[in-house]
Amino acid sequence: MTTTVQKKVLINARALIADRAHWTRAALGRTANGRNVEWHDKSATKWCAMGAIYRAAYDLVGDPRQATRIGNEVAKSVCRTPWFRGGLPAINDWRGHAAVLAVFDKALQAA
């Protein structure tokens, strides 16, 4: 974690998905009824780890392209797990909610 913005994004992303009801697999964003939507869609209420990071960045900067760039930087700094191929999306989809929160917490502790 290198910047205050990145740390703020990670704190906010973790808050978005802390409640398992707001977390999902295999989609960056979903509505409350499970329909796939863009992570920045106003109707999104559930996000995967990457979707939450992108959404948290978007909530800070208000621009999807900038949010994607910032989100990718955050994900790179968060997921330094050579033991698991596929990075944060794979951890999200294969390891689950608790593993994502653990990765976020570890990165925040190191920041």
Does residue 83 have a pLDDT over 60?
no
CA distances from 84 to 24, 81, 87, 101 (A): 19, 6, 7, 16
| Host domain of residue 18 | 4-110
Matching residue, tokens 């209420």: 45
pLDDT tens track for 49-62: 999 999 999 999 99
- Note the pLDDT tens digit of each residue in 10-50: 999 999 999 999 999 999 999 999 999 999 999 999 999 99
In the chain, % of residues over pLDDT 90: 82
pTM of this structure: 0.92
Our count of domains for the chain comes to: 1
| Cα–Cα separations (whole angstroms), residue 83 to 72, 88, 91 | 20, 12, 11
